[in-house]
Amino acid sequence: MAKKARILTATLCVLLLAVSVAGCDEIRGKIGKKDKEAKEFVRGPEGLVMSFVPNYPQDKFIVSKPKEADKGEPISILVEVRNKGTYPPEEESKAKHTIFGAGKIHLSGFDTNIIQMNSNSKGLKDLFLPAASSINPLGGLDTAEFDGIIAADNILIDSYNPTILVTACYPYFTKSTPTVCIDPEPFDLRQEKVCNIGSQTVPNQGAPIAVTRIDQEAAAGKIQFKITIRNAGKGDVIWDKEGVSNLFPLLERCDPNKGGRLDRKDFDRVQLEKVQIGSVDLFRGGKCAPFADGTNNIVRLFDGEGFVICTLDVDDLGDIQSAYTTPIDIELRYAYRSTISKPIQIKKLETVGE
């Protein structure tokens, strides 16, 4: 009997050890996967991403008449902000002159006589938001903090149920450098070639406005590039036809608290800044069209998508004897508006005897 007990005990120990080892292997596997994801730099279709810090604000507040006239129920709104995109570049951030810092985060959606915040806006220049990169694959992370009080005396009903709206408006930039085919003799099918004139999809560039596709067509001595641009993010792209010179008035109109309104002409516009192959700048050389509103640099998006066609004179690249591949450098500038929201409930507690 004792021998059987010893065998049973040994068997149980082995089983427990096996389960323990399997559990540890599973945990190590999950941790390893998480570490790998954190180390890998993947360019996505996002710029700034916001979320509410849990319980800031609370889902529900119960307030009563304060003992002092200038006091009320404290309320804190904390917004976690991460820069998942690739702008601004490190050298621009170090120079501290990037226009990215001109962006702001705004609170709105509530009666300011009831919810009285110390400030309804926070500037991006006050946050730590460096771009995502191979060294910093998750991007810069910081918290925009808003503090205030709930003035119970100004609530004239039993329950007030506002929705807290957070709006971020900020300048951003897209740089795309896909590889294209340059062929001086595109109709000569007898030669062995390393590439052919055609079409390609373009991977994400780490920005909400993306170059998604390039279609090439060849003619005698010329190559046309149709560059398709799309709003790949979840927000709205805005821009003024005057460009950077009118950036600050544009961002002021983006503030819900100042009564400024964005016009429909402010939406779905992207500024083209460069289309260059080798030493040939097609954009500044006047080789790109069409542009919106009589401008020479604004691309209009319809249903979130637009395009521009640029024409290359192959001779401008010099004496080319055979086909080869080379990057095409495309740069876009714009401003972007993103929002998140959270409904809250404020119940007024009437004190007996008042």
Number of domains the chain contains: 2
Instruction: Tell me phi and psi for residue 128, to 5 degrees.
Output: -95, 95
Residue 308: CA atoms inside 13 Å, Cβ hemisphere, count? Answer: 29
**70 belongs to a structural domain:** yes
> Which pLDDT score, from 0 to 100, does residue 27 have?
43
> Which pLDDT score, from 0 to 100, does residue 17 have?
46
Q: What confidence tens digit (pLDDT) does each residue in 288-334 have?
A: 999 998 899 999 999 999 999 999 999 999 998 899 999 999 999 99
- Indicate if 168 and 179 belong to the same structural domain: no
| pLDDT beyond 80 at 260 | no
Instruction: Tell me phi and psi for residue 333, to 5 degrees.
Output: -130, 145
Residue with tokens 């508006």: 337
- Indicate if 313 and 300 belong to the same structural domain: yes
Give, in order, the Cα–Cα distances in Å from 141 to each of 36, 100, 253.
19, 15, 26
**316 belongs to a structural domain:** yes
**25 belongs to a structural domain:** no
**131 belongs to a structural domain:** yes
Per-residue confidence band for 19, with pLDDT thresholds at 50, 70 and 90: very low
- Degrees (nearest 5) of the Cα angle 258, 259, 261? 115
Contacts of 351 (CB under 8 A, 6+ apart): 64, 65
**137 belongs to a structural domain:** yes
For residue 353, give both structure tokens: 């005897």
Query: For the chain, what is the total number of helices (H) and then of strands (E)?
Result: 3, 21
Q: What confidence tens digit (pLDDT) does each residue in 62-107 have?
A: 998 766 656 789 999 999 999 999 999 877 655 545 789 999 999 9
**What is the SS3 assignment for 121?**
strand
Give, in order, the Cα–Cα distances in Å from 200 to each of 188, 196, 212.
21, 11, 9
For residue 269, give both structure tokens: 């516009």
**Mean pLDDT over the full length of the chain:** 87
The pTM is what?
0.84
Q: Other C-beta atoms within 10 Å of 202: how many?
A: 18
- Indicate if 159 and 274 belong to the same structural domain: no
- Indicate if 272 and 208 belong to the same structural domain: yes
Cβ pair 256, 165 in contact under 8 A: yes
Cβ pair 210, 177 in contact under 8 A: no
> Which pLDDT score, from 0 to 100, does residue 64 have?
86
> Which pLDDT score, from 0 to 100, does residue 14 have?
43
**18 belongs to a structural domain:** no
- Indicate if 196 and 309 belong to the same structural domain: yes
CA–CA dist 215, 187 (Å, integer): 17
> Which pLDDT score, from 0 to 100, does residue 239 have?
96
Q: 290 preceded by cis ω (within 30°)?
A: yes
> Which pLDDT score, from 0 to 100, does residue 3 have?
47
Q: Other C-beta atoms within 10 Å of 193: how many?
A: 15
> Which pLDDT score, from 0 to 100, does residue 313 have?
96
Categorise residue 318: left if φ over 0, alpha if ψ from -120 to 50, beta otherwise.
Answer: left
**115 belongs to a structural domain:** yes
Q: What confidence tens digit (pLDDT) does each residue in 165-187 have?
A: 999 999 999 999 999 999 999 98
DSSP 267: B
> Which pLDDT score, from 0 to 100, does residue 200 have?
96
- Indicate if 167 and 178 belong to the same structural domain: no
DSSP 57: S
- Indicate if 287 and 307 belong to the same structural domain: yes
User: Average pLDDT for residues 6-23, to the nearest whole number?
Assistant: 47
Give the amino acid at 332: L
Q: What is the CATH number of the domain that holds 120?
A: 2.60.40.10
> What is the domain extent for residue 92?
48-172+339-348
